[in-house]
């Protein structure tokens, strides 16, 4: 999963970034062209909202543009830009979580409880449609803890190596592996009906 | 690790099979617009920072002595001028208070007015003057002389004024007899004027005799008080008028 080696891309991401740091704005355009879809997919799987993912990816590129001097060639560019995207996404998710929590909370005189969200379980027959299948998997992803979700997406959807994930998250290798496995386990439980159907 | 991957093989396959989501249309155009806005913000921030840095550059260590010296000079100028201005004001005020002539004038004017209005005796007023003079210090003798000189003339004039006032009041009170009293008072005035004239003449003759006795006649001739002919005529006329006035009431 190295964009610089994919297809006709001959120039590495790091080389493009160094050119952009030297004032070549066309290099930045090339970086945007290479990463806009990848980052959108990653953030969409993380947040589950397409509009939010678009905003977050735009913010990520703005951050890359304004903080270009902070990038050092010792790190891989892909891990650097993904780290920025994850941090922005986390901030946004935390903010929205607070907002949703208040909107879904009903306060009475003495008691306080959260409204239960209806179960969106899908029957095996209807899962034949691939769109519905992908939506169901996305719902399953959204239902697991963010800590697991982030690492599972990076490993199983974006296909980053464990080392790269360690570099991005700053977590120890053992923590990364255990969290990825726990996330997978949780997903397996949620998507059990799909296995049974298949 | 490979065993774990095998354990979750199905779920990994499902996650990999998810369709790749692409960015929205016009993503790059919107991004460029945002970047342009961001650059404007950065430019304004840079200008604000540069202004702030310029302000901070005043407080460089190399400027501290210059700033300190200028501050000291400024304070010294302010203190000097404030002291000078305040002293100037004090000087003018003390001058106004300590000037003996000004204070005397003030006192005399007030006392004369009071005496004229209330009819108090001048002796009391002169006593007041002396007491006030004693308070004012070393100029006491000089001013007491002046006050003693001023004792006679105001008294004399006040008596005259009182007499006149009495006659006027009598006119109002006596009704028909007013004309008589008026003529009497006129007689008094005439006789007083005559007296003053005779006193002056006597004084002049005395002075002339004294000068003659001392042998200063040539000089005295040069400065001999000549009786003005116009004045003589006017006195004659006045006398004639007085006589006529005397005769008229009788008629």
Convert the pLDDT of each residue in B96-114 to its tens digit.
555 555 555 555 555 554 4
The whole-number pLDDT of residue B179 equals 54
Report yes or no: A185 at the B interface, CB cutoff 8 Å.
yes
Decide: residue A78, CB within 10 A, 0-12 exposed, 13-18 middle, 19+ buried: buried
Q: Which of A173, A153, A192, A39 is nearest to B12 (CA)?
A: A153
Q: Which of A171, A135, A136 is nearest to A150 (CA)?
A: A171
Report yes or no: B11 at the A interface, CB cutoff 8 Å.
yes
The whole-number pLDDT of residue A77 equals 92
Report yes or no: A22 at the B interface, CB cutoff 8 Å.
no
What's chain A's average pLDDT? 81
The whole-number pLDDT of residue B44 equals 80
The whole-number pLDDT of residue B220 equals 52
Taking residues B2-11, report their average pLDDT. 79
Q: What is the DSSP string of A130-189?
A: HHHHHHHHHHHHHHS-HHHHHHHIIIIIS---HHHHHHHH---HHHHHHHHHHHHHHHHH
Do A40 and B23 contact (CB within 8 A), yes or no? yes
The whole-number pLDDT of residue B94 equals 53
B147: number of Cβ within 10 Å = 21
Extract the tokens encoding A45.
Answer: 């799987």
How close B28 comes to chain A (CA, Å)? 8
The whole-number pLDDT of residue B133 equals 43
Check CB contact under 8 Å for B15 and A157. Answer: yes
How close A107 comes to chain B (CA, Å)? 39
How close B2 comes to chain A (CA, Å)? 12
The whole-number pLDDT of residue B141 equals 47
The conformational region for residue B74 under phi > 0 = left, psi -120 to 50 = alpha, else beta, is alpha
The whole-number pLDDT of residue B2 equals 66
Q: Which residues 22-51 of B are in CB contact (within 8 Å) with A?
A: 22-24, 27-28, 30-31, 34-35, 38, 42
- Smallest Cβ–Cβ distance between B11 and the set A32, A177, A191 belongs to A191
Taking residues B166-192, report their average pLDDT. 67
Which residues of chain A are modeled with pLDDT < 70? Answer: 1-9, 98-129, 195-198
For residue B36, give the chain A residue with the closest CA. Answer: A62
Convert the pLDDT of each residue in A97-150 to its tens digit.
766 654 444 444 443 333 334 444 555 555 556 778 888 889 999 999 999 999
Residue B242: partners with Cβ closer than 8 Å, 6 or more residues away = B186, B190
B30 interaction partners in chain A (CB closer than 8 Å): 58
For residue A177, give the chain B residue with the closest CA. Answer: B1
The whole-number pLDDT of residue B162 equals 80
Report yes or no: B2 at the A interface, CB cutoff 8 Å.
no
| Residue B205 pLDDT grade (very low, low, confident, very high; cuts 50, 70, 90) | confident
Check CB contact under 8 Å for A61 and B31. Answer: yes
* Percentage of chain B modeled with pLDDT above 90: 8
Check CB contact under 8 Å for A62 and B38. Answer: yes
A187 interaction partners in chain B (CB closer than 8 Å): 11, 15
Check CB contact under 8 Å for B16 and A188. Answer: no
- Smallest Cβ–Cβ distance between B16 and the set A33, A156, A185 belongs to A156
Flag the least confident range among A10-19, B83-92, B206-215. Answer: B83-92
Report yes or no: A44 at the B interface, CB cutoff 8 Å.
yes
| Residue B7 pLDDT grade (very low, low, confident, very high; cuts 50, 70, 90) | confident
What's chain B's average pLDDT? 69
| Residue B229 pLDDT grade (very low, low, confident, very high; cuts 50, 70, 90) | low
The segment with the largest mean pLDDT, out of A101-105, A141-145, B49-53, B83-87, is A141-145
Taking residues B136-163, report their average pLDDT. 55
* Percentage of chain B modeled with pLDDT above 70: 53
| Residue B39 pLDDT grade (very low, low, confident, very high; cuts 50, 70, 90) | confident
A134 interaction partners in chain B (CB closer than 8 Å): 18-19
- Hey, what domains does chain A have and what are their CATH numbers? 11-104 (1.10.1740.10), 119-198 (1.10.10.10)
B11 interaction partners in chain A (CB closer than 8 Å): 156, 184, 187-188, 191
Convert the pLDDT of each residue in B115-140 to its tens digit.
455 544 444 444 444 444 444 444 44
The whole-number pLDDT of residue B154 equals 55
């Amino acid at each position: 999963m190295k964009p610089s080696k994919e297809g006709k891309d001959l120039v590495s991401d790091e080389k493009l970034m160094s050119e952009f740091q030297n004032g070549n704005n066309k290099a930045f355009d090339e970086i945007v062209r290479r990463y806009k879809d990848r980052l959108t997919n990653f953030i969409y799987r993380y947040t589950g909202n397409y509009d939010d993912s678009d905003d977050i990816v735009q913010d990520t590129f703005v951050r890359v543009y304004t903080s270009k001097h902070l990038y050092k060639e010792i790190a891989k560019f892909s891990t650097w830009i993904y780290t920025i995207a994850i941090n922005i996404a986390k901030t946004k998710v935390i903010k929205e979580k607070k907002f949703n929590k208040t909107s879904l909370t009903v306060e009475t005189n003495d008691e306080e409880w959260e409204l239960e969200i209806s179960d969106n379980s899908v029957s095996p027959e209807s899962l034949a449609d691939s769109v519905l299948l992908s939506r169901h998997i996305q719902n399953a992803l959204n239902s697991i803890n963010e800590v697991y979700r982030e690492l599972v997406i990076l490993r199983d959807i974006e296909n980053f190596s464990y080392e790269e994930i360690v570099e991005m998250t700053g977590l120890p290798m053992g923590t990364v592996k255990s969290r990825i496995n726990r996330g997978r386990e949780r997903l397996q439980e949620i998507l059990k009906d799909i296995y049974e159907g298949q | 690790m490979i065993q774990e991957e095998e354990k979750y093989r199905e779920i990994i396959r499902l996650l990999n099979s998810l369709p790749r989501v692409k960015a929205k249309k016009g993503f790059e155009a919107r991004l460029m617009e945002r970047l342009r806005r961001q650059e404007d913000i950065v430019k304004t921030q840079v200008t604000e920072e540069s202004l702030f840095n310029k302000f901070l550059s005043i407080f460089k260590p190399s400027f501290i002595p210059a700033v300190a010296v200028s501050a000291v000079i400024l304070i010294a100028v302010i203190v000097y001028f404030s002291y000078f201005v305040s002293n100037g004001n004090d000087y003018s005020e003390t001058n106004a208070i300590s000037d003996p002539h000004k204070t005397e004038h003030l006192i005399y004017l007030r006392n004369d007015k009071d005496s004229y209005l209330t009819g108090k005796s001048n002796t009391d007023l002169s006593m007041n003057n002396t007491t006030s003079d004693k308070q004012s210090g070393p100029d006491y003798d000089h001013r007491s002389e002046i006050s003693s000189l001023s004792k006679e003339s105001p008294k004399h004039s006040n008596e005259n004024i009182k007499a006149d006032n009495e006659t006027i009041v009598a006119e109002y009170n006596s009704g028909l007899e007013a004309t008589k009293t008026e003529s009497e008072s006129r007689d008094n005035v005439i006789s007083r004027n005559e007296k003053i004239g005779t006193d002056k003449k006597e004084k002049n003759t005395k002075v002339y005799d004294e000068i003659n006795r001392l042998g200063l006649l040539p000089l005295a001739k040069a400065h001999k008080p000549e009786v003005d002919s116009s004045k003589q005529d006017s006195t004659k006329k006045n006398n004639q008028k007085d006589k006529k006035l005397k005769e008229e009431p009788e008629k």
